[in-house]
Structure 1
Amino acid sequence: DLPTSPHISPYLVYSREAEHAAARCGAHTPRLVTMLLGGNDLCNVCSDGGDVSADEYAAKMRPAFETLAAVPRLVVNVPLHADYTQLAGVDWGFFGNLYCDVLLALVCPCMGNWASDLAVARQRVGEYNGKLVELVAEFNGDAHASTRGQGTTFIVQPFAQHTVFSATHLVSDDCFHPSAAGQELLARGLWNNLLQPAGEKASSVEEGEALLCPTADAALS
């Protein structure tokens, strides 16, 4: 089902093991892929020479969409990016804030505690999300009907878009990645989005929010 080129996209590389695993799923089993890519590009949108525009982001994502669209019986989750600029608002205490300001300046400079950079980054997050919505609509549409695998569909999952994760226990000690509690929160949001119909999907999730339970006739959406 998957092409043999080892380099599908600047954002998507697969292994032979993944191809064999997909083959073992059987001829009629739907497969689920979640594709969240480009977050590291947002770390540099305020840097001279490091900025990846929304159009460039879409161009990088397109080969990944094209590759996955050709695989039959595939449900592709496309989560929208969260507002990563919230990282600048996490209050670690006086010394912790000094540490995180220095660390973010090194690993994700545009998400640090600098107002002008945050404004640029926040705008670009919205632009990236807009491109993802456009790509999903395009690859679900008639223009790709002849090349799209049978039963394959792309679904925008907006659970992270307005989720608040600026509490210290939701961010790991590297000041950048979600902690175990943060991962649990995002997983809860994705799970519930999967069971919410199009047009009724939540764009945020809170800790302790009830998990939705699938019914016997439920379909992923």
Structure 2
Amino acid sequence: MASLWLWILMSAISIVNGDIEDDFRGLYEVYDDYHLFLGHVSETTRDDIESVGMEFNCHSSVSPEKPTSVHKLRPGDINVVAGIGDSLSTAYAAGAPIFLPVMLNYWGVSASIGGDKSLSSVGTLPNILRKYNPDILGYSTGEGIVFTQPKSKSFNHAVVGAKAKGLPKQARKLIDDLRAHSDVDMENDWKFITLFIGGNDLCSGCSKETSEPQEYLAFIDETLRIFHDEVPRAIVNLVGVLNAYILPELDGSLKCNLVHSIVCSCLHKDGGKEAIYERAKEYQRVVQEHIESGKFDDKDDFTVVYQPFFHETNIPKHADGSPDSSYFASDCFHLSQKGQAAQATANWNGLFEPVGSKRLEWVPGEKLNCPSEEFPYIYTNVNSKSDGLQHGYYQSDVNENPNQKLSKQTFIIVGVIGGVMLVIIIAAIVVRISKKPNRLSLNGSYQRL
């Protein structure tokens, strides 16, 4: 155990020094001891964390024939999932029962790309999609040491500590993996790629290093252009940045204060919290406007959809008004599995809200929405504006009674018939009155010869 703690100390030092990938090449030598240590800390706590699932009562939603247009894409048409971004997408520390200087990535519970177990116990976007297509490829599973690339990571190319400037490199690696995978039909399979990044850019805002909104946007634009030009049949699910200014609400313990002062030091400088808030709002604004301008809507088999559910997100509160820290990992910075599941739910529901009418916040405990039978497609910039399409979704936990549906139809029919009859009666009265002889006034002023 002494060697374990020595490794943790050296790992922390190496991270601070920046020699990350080289210093982590030999970490598998102590991985088993480290994993065993975590497993014995609190099995009860870990079991509680690993049971954040979702109820699913949606109908099948697969196109009769594979669609050729991304604007007619249903959930069951998706064959491949992938993700790029930072530690929120690697699910760093999401399942850690206690705080340690260096923790694991819990890839299998990542909201964007995790696929551990099943939806009933682990709420993620891929686990929802697997309800429509059990053979979907690309989701990551399990857990492991940061900066390693086990096969279980699959098409999750997010990197701990990444900033927007690293996205083009992640995109290139992902494309290489997609092309090399024997079970991926690059030309015909529909791919769902989630891009979520920005926390590290915000927290480095004091130094201005690649943190200006236009620089941030430029790297995202470059990444999207790579996908646009090289990945056919793809929809990029771009999640707006989570505003880091909310983190100080978790302060109070020595642990949280220490972590925040190290990983997001800007928050603790004069005016830092307000500066990060404003910068995050600018990130959100410039990216959303860029995506919804239609720049990436010039191909029928590719699009980018912006998801703004983090725009006005606040830390959930207990009944007494105190912050509910259960949505955050033990390091007070990353999302716990509960937080990851909340993100997945909000993101999924956003897929079935038209562009321009998407919610700007997520609500703790919200249910999964299902694509409606009238409009079963994932909303895009294009189909959200199409005339003649019926928009909407229905709640997965509400099953409409067929008798109630018939009653509604009967009511409508009776109402229409009644309205027509009323018009006929009024018309008959008017005609009858018009045929009666005009009464003349006593003084004869209205008599006509």
The TM-score range, normalised by the shorter chain, is 0.7 to 0.9
Identify the residue that residue 20 of structure 1 maps to in structure 2: 180
User: 2:226 and 2:242 mapped to 1: Cα distance?
Assistant: 25
Q: Does residue 328 of structure 2 align to residue 171 of structure 1?
A: yes
Identify the residue that residue 159 of structure 1 maps to in structure 2: 309
- How far apart are 1:194 and its partner, in Å? 0.6
- How far apart are 1:167 and its partner, in Å? 2.2
Identify the residue that residue 259 of structure 2 maps to in structure 1: 103
What is the TM-score when the length of structure 2 is the normalising length?
0.42
Amino acid at match of 1:53: E
- Kindly provide the CA deviation profile for residues 107-163 of structure 1, in whole angstroms up to 9, marking residues without a partner as x: 121245x5610000000001111121132134x33xx66xx5542111111111112
> Cα RMSD over matched residues?
2.3
SS at match of 1:101: helix
Identify the residue that residue 191 of structure 2 maps to in structure 1: 31
Summarize the Cα distance change of 1:25–1:160 in structure 2 as closer, same or farther, 3 Å threshold: farther
Q: Does the 8 A contact of 1:83 with 1:161 survive in 2?
A: yes
- How far apart are 1:186 and its partner, in Å? 0.7
Higher CA-based Rg: 2
Identify the residue that residue 420 of structure 2 maps to in structure 1: none
SS at match of 2:204: coil
Correspondent of 2:376 among 210, 215, 218: 218
User: 1:115 and 1:135 mapped to 2: Cα distance?
Assistant: 32
- How far apart are 1:11 and its partner, in Å? 1.6
Equivalent residues, number = 202
SS at match of 1:24: coil
Identify the residue that residue 246 of structure 2 maps to in structure 1: 86
Q: Does residue 214 of structure 2 align to residue 58 of structure 1?
A: no
Identify the residue that residue 117 of structure 1 maps to in structure 2: 272
Identify the residue that residue 13 of structure 2 maps to in structure 1: none
User: 1:87 and 1:207 mapped to 2: Cα distance?
Assistant: 17
SS at match of 1:66: helix
Summarize the Cα distance change of 1:219–1:84 in structure 2 as closer, same or farther, 3 Å threshold: same
Identify the residue that residue 196 of structure 1 maps to in structure 2: 353
The farther-off stretch of 36-45 and 120-129 is: 36-45
Q: Does residue 233 of structure 2 align to residue 73 of structure 1?
A: yes
User: 1:115 and 1:192 mapped to 2: Cα distance?
Assistant: 38
Identify the residue that residue 4 of structure 1 maps to in structure 2: none
- How far apart are 1:24 and its partner, in Å? 1.5
- How far apart are 1:27 and its partner, in Å? 3.8
- How far apart are 1:218 and its partner, in Å? 0.8
Q: Does the 8 A contact of 1:159 with 1:202 survive in 2?
A: yes
- Kindly provide the CA deviation profile for residues 40-69 of structure 1, in whole angstroms up to 9, marking residues without a partner as x: 110111x23546211111122221011112
Summarize the Cα distance change of 1:137–1:198 in structure 2 as closer, same or farther, 3 Å threshold: closer
- How far apart are 1:196 and its partner, in Å? 1.2
Q: Does the 8 A contact of 1:72 with 1:149 survive in 2?
A: no
User: 2:236 and 2:208 mapped to 1: Cα distance?
Assistant: 32
Summarize the Cα distance change of 1:82–1:22 in structure 2 as closer, same or farther, 3 Å threshold: farther
User: 1:29 and 1:220 mapped to 2: Cα distance?
Assistant: 16
SS at match of 2:288: helix
Amino acid at match of 1:89: E
User: 2:260 and 2:334 mapped to 1: Cα distance?
Assistant: 11
SS at match of 2:346: helix
- How far apart are 1:26 and its partner, in Å? 5.8
SS at match of 1:105: helix
- Kindly provide the CA deviation profile for residues 62-96 of structure 1, in whole angstroms up to 9, marking residues without a partner as x: 210111122222111111112221111125xx5x2
Summarize the Cα distance change of 1:59–1:26 in structure 2 as closer, same or farther, 3 Å threshold: closer
SS at match of 1:201: coil
Q: Can you give the 5+ residue segments of structure 2 that lack an aligned partner in the other structure?
A: 1-164, 316-322, 380-449
Q: Does the 8 A contact of 1:171 with 1:178 survive in 2?
A: yes
What is the TM-score when the length of structure 1 is the normalising length?
0.81
